[in-house]
Chain A
Amino acid sequence: MSPEYKLPKEVVEIYEGIKNMSIRGAGKIAKYAVLALMKAAEDFKSDETRDFLRYMEYVGSYLRSSRPTAVSLPNAITYVLTRLRKQSITSVEEGKQIVISSAQEFMRRADEALKIIGELGSRRIENGDIIMTHCHSTAATSVIATAYKKGKINVVYVKETRPAFQGLITAKALAEEGLEVVVIPDSSVRYFMKKVDKVVVGADTVAANGAVVNKIGTSLVALAAKEARVRFYVATETFKFSPYTLLGELVPIEVRDPREVVDDEWMKENKNVKIFNPVFDVTPPEYIDAIITERGVIPPQAALLLLIEDYGTELREVGVNIPTAWEE
């Protein structure tokens, strides 16, 4: 992309950081993206209002291109730019103020969101419940830790989460909170499900139909929970809801390096064995009892409500302009 505008150093650094994955995790990516918008706005030198609007759109699509698969990134950018577009600004100064204040608002909300999710989610947990969780999610951890602090629960089963063992990050965090943590292999999920009362997991992306894209194995846990009539909750900030799925887009599922599963030596000895290592899977909405967000506990099928609230009915906001049934 040949820049039409010269961007401030911080913006370029954030772009690079997201691209080379030194800035990782859906929440962090989102916060850095709005920070970059803020820096870009502050740096704008002309008084031409139309030019400012064009410039901000440019910065938005520049940042969006840094990591096409993480939905929190375009969502954070849209959060700020929608607010700018909605106001018919009369001066650049006014525009800058809108960008800065909505960026700050986004960051503040993201921090608050985790606390609110913890509080709302913990209300769904009853005294003496045994909880199971999969992978590592700050939002899910917040729910479990809050329930523990309220004295409701004591024991949590944490799935190891192959191939990269992210379950151990959760195990560490929850043990440090004081919970009794039992790490179990992923294969034993159905065996243990009978002993569990509630499952709480996080999300990487929530689709418009309420399907949840999360670490591989999540849908398996959901199915085992359904079979055992164990409640299955997804804890997530609403900036992980994907407006693109509203346009029929599929959520891309990354397939990673086989070396996460077996080592080099094994691969060399077994050249003919393929290794398939998908990172995420899709949990259908009918296996999810509720999605716990900072804007309330919703049935997964109501994901659309939050998306319309955020993006309006004008899907132009998310980069494509097609007529839809409910567009006025």
Chain B
Amino acid sequence: MLGSTEVATGSLEIIKDASILCKNTFREFLVDFIPSIVASRPPSQVVENILRKYLEEFTKLKTEKGFEEAVDETQNIVDSLIKELNLVRDLIAEIGSRRIENGDTILTHSYSTTVLRTLEKAVKKGLTFRVYVTESRPIGEGRVTASSLSKLGIETTLIVDSAVRYVMKHVNKVLVGADAIAVNGAIVNKVGTSTIALVAKEARSRLFVLAGIYKLSFETVFGELIEQVFLEDINLIIPKEKIRELPNKVRVSAPLFDVTPPEYIDAIITERGVLAPQAIPVLVASLYGWPPKIKSLKELLDEVSKN
């Protein structure tokens, strides 16, 4: 399981390649590819938002200079979007790293490039701290995080998800990324995040979410719920030798995301500063108006299809 920002940049790269390699069928490609990549990971808001941004610029160019020109310009649009994403992540990492102090014991969950960058920045500033990483079942991408952190020279300890309350007493800060931010300040992230948030609250450890504004789910402003994804294939969850011993009727159910309520979050660290989760609507209103004037992907794709 990659971080959601990686999925977003990956999708942009594919669009860029397509604009170069299959100019003739690019229109059909966009209409086909964009909904499918968004559907593959429903809660990952950055994917939808960044593709929306791309389509906005694409359709604007199309109206001004024609379809061909817009296709030719796609490389530039993509490059500047990726640059912007990186810039945003760097800004968040810079702001986030200011919250880290010498001697901190930090806990993180799952895999987030924004969290990794933040910790990397803190190391480069010469700060010393240690990090607990949960293995983050199902999938277990916490192992990748642990591996990356230890290579940065950070004292890293891997624990099972169940041990999080055991160690929380020694943890003073929790840093996690997000797949989506709902308009009420709740965040959607890898399953287990809300459990950790609850444990952090109990132990009076701080919980910071590191996420750019591009993770905001605009649809939640209009009452939409964020969709859940389940793994139900037992082979993806339970080790093979253990499955054999189980009766057939045993089912498994593994949601990939959960929702952390705003009251468990001390702050959401964005490229626009450190925010109380409840302040998200204020920021949205100042950036996009209220209610936010946002075109849906479908509207934009319809514009792409028009001659």
Contacts and interface: CB of A to CB of B under 8 A. Distances in A.
Nearest to B249: A175
Contact of A275 (B158, B164, B253, B254): B158
A152 to B, nearest CB: 19
Interface string B215-234: 00000000000000000001
A104 interface: no
Nearest to A228: B198
B247 A187 contact: no
Nearest to A283: B165
Interface in B42-62: none
A108 B258 CA distance: 47
A165 B238 contact: yes
B192 interface: yes
B254 A270 contact: no
A276 interface: yes
Contacts of B249: 175, 180-181
A276 B138 contact: no
B191 A191 contact: yes
A188 B157 contact: no
B147 to A, nearest CB: 5
Contact of B162 (A176, A184, A217, A227): A217
Contact of A216 (B132, B137, B162, B234): B162
B253 to A, nearest CB: 5
A171 B138 CA distance: 18
A294 interface: no
Contacts of A262: 143, 158
Contact of B245 (A168, A181, A187): A168
Interface stretch (A61-69, A218-226, A304-312, A317-325): A218-226
A165 B242 contact: yes
B128 to A, nearest CB: 15
B160 A273 contact: no
Contact of B195 (A171, A190, A266): A190
Interface string A164-203: 0100100110011000111111111111000000000000
A191 B258 contact: yes
Contacts of A165: 238-239, 242
B21 interface: no
Contacts of B160: 162-163, 186, 216-217, 261, 277
B70 to A, nearest CB: 43
The B contact surface, by secondary structure, is mixed
Contacts of A189: 195
A217 B151 CA distance: 29
Given A183-B252, A185-B137, A269 B166 contact: no
Interface in B33-85: none
A175 B246 contact: yes
Given A165-B239, A168-B242, A189-B195, A270 B251 contact: no
Contact of A176 (B167, B190, B238, B247): B247
A273 B156 contact: yes
Interface in A10-24: none
B199 interface: yes
Residue in A171, A215, A227 with the greatest tally of chain B CB atoms within 10 Å: A171
Interface string A132-168: 0000000000000000000000000000111101001
Given A168-B246, A270-B147, A281-B166, A185 B159 contact: no
A274 interface: yes
B135 interface: yes
B198 A172 contact: no
Given A183-B252, A191-B255, A281 B147 contact: no
B202 interface: yes
Contacts of A299: none
B250 A162 contact: no
Interface string B175-209: 00000000000000011101100110010000000
Given A160-B237, A162-B137, A181-B250, A223 B202 contact: yes
B134 A187 contact: yes
Given A162-B135, A217-B162, A190 B198 contact: yes
Contacts of A163: 160
B161 interface: yes
Residue in A185, A269, A277 with the greatest tally of chain B CB atoms within 10 Å: A185
A261 B158 contact: yes
B305 interface: no
Given A175-B249, A182-B253, A188-B254, 6 more contacts: A172-B246, A187-B161, A191-B191, A191-B258, A220-B165, A273-B157
8 contacts: A172-B247, A176-B247, A183-B234, A187-B138, A216-B162, A224-B195, A262-B143, A281-B162
Interface of A: 160-163, 165, 168, 171-172, 175-176, 180-191, 215-217, 219-220, 223-224, 227, 261-262, 266, 269-270, 272-278, 281
Interface of B: 132, 134-138, 143, 146-147, 149-151, 155-167, 190-192, 194-195, 198-199, 202, 234, 237-239, 242, 245-247, 249-255, 258
